[in-house]
Amino acid sequence: MNIREHYEQLEEKILSPLATKSKYTKGRLKFEEKCNIRTEFQRDRDRIIHSKAFRRLKHKTQVFIAPEGDHYRTRLTHTLEVAQIARTISRAIGLNEDLTEAIALGHDLGHTPFGHTGENVLNKIASCGFKHYEQSLRVVDFLEKGTGLNLTYEVRNGILCHSSNLEAETNEGKVVKLADKIAYINHDIDDAIRAGIITIDDLPKECIKVLGKGHSERINKMITAVIEHAIKFGVVALVGEIGQATWELRDFMFKNVYIGSKAKQEEEKAIKMIQALYEYYYNNPNKMPTEFINRIEEWGKERVVCDFIAGMTDRYAINEFINIYIPLSWGKIY
């Protein structure tokens, strides 16, 4: 028996009936021999961590565009907080932590520069449409390394279904979807207070009465509510008094932070920048890297331009915009 087979036997013994066992994965898009050391879901987690798309998340907007200060969340720190919350829930209810972590680490790989602002621009301007959760799957299936990461079905399904009205087929995927919301509701409150957009006293009083004033207190109550419901009913959900307070707090954040607040004061600039980059590369596809040019025949120009722009970090997009549209000083030309 090798190390992987030993872990597979452990999963059979210690994981809940609610869990997805790595031994029974539906497999990969392309057949691969199994690793002697790692389970299939462990391999997926490692592939995501070592990907360039994962590293780029550190320079992509979470909520605040070009914030001044080292403590604001980026798309990478958001991803790590989601993974931590999701693993805590999964461990407590006996789910597969490796699958949970792989989904969590890969769920936002398809996000554009400037967060949901960039996503909305590409979705409006391209007839093929653009959704970050679909792009995340596209990254792991096709774009990363030029051929994709060839992940297991369960990880791919969890990545695709972490947002919108889609529902993951595994309980681990459902945990990540909830962990994503728990993470961003709470860390965005933290960032918004730091930025002076809201104060703790602005938060809905009934929600705070139920969830608590403190960052860790709110997260703990939300996580505990998910765990207790799953243990009692065998269903991954955030419901009851804690759930209602959570979704009301989320509504408050949309009305007071995500839409029309100071957090969005640079949004119009970002919109125009993404529009300009899209127009330029659509009209000049030969200016994209060769690997993208070579995909146009298979995927179409709109999709490939979206792929190129979505892969940019905030600062790369800004630099591209400057290089294309801003006149250089005489000394930099000659």
Domain boundaries, the chain: 40-333
How much of the chain, in percent, has pLDDT values that exceed 70? 97
Residue 331 has pLDDT above 60, yes or no: no
Residue 332 has pLDDT above 70, yes or no: no
Residue 77 has pLDDT above 60, yes or no: yes
Mean pLDDT of 165-172: 96
Angstrom distance (rounded) from CA 314 to CA 44: 27
Residue 66 has pLDDT above 70, yes or no: no
* pLDDT given for residue 328 in this prediction: 77
Q: In this structure, how many other beta carbons lie within 10 angstroms of the beta carbon of residue 259?
A: 11
Three-state secondary structure string covering 96-152: CHHHHHHHHHHCCCCCCCCHHHHHHHHHHHCCCCCCHHHHHHHHHHHHHHHCCCCCE
Residue 150 has pLDDT above 90, yes or no: yes
Angstrom distance (rounded) from CA 15 to CA 256: 41
Q: How confident is the model at residue 259 (pLDDT cuts 50, 70, 90)?
A: confident
Mean pLDDT of 142-169: 96
Mean pLDDT of 186-203: 94
* pLDDT given for residue 110 in this prediction: 98
Helix (H, G, I), strand (E, B), or coil: what is residue 74? Answer: strand
The CATH code for residues 40-333 is: 1.10.3210.10
* pLDDT given for residue 192 in this prediction: 93
User: 């509504």: which residue's tokens?
Assistant: 251
Contacts of 183 (CB under 8 A, 6+ apart): 78, 81, 82, 85
Residue 333 has pLDDT above 70, yes or no: no
Mean pLDDT of 163-169: 93
Looking at every residue in the chain, the average pLDDT score rounds to 95
pLDDT tens column, 221-243: 999 999 999 999 999 999 999 99
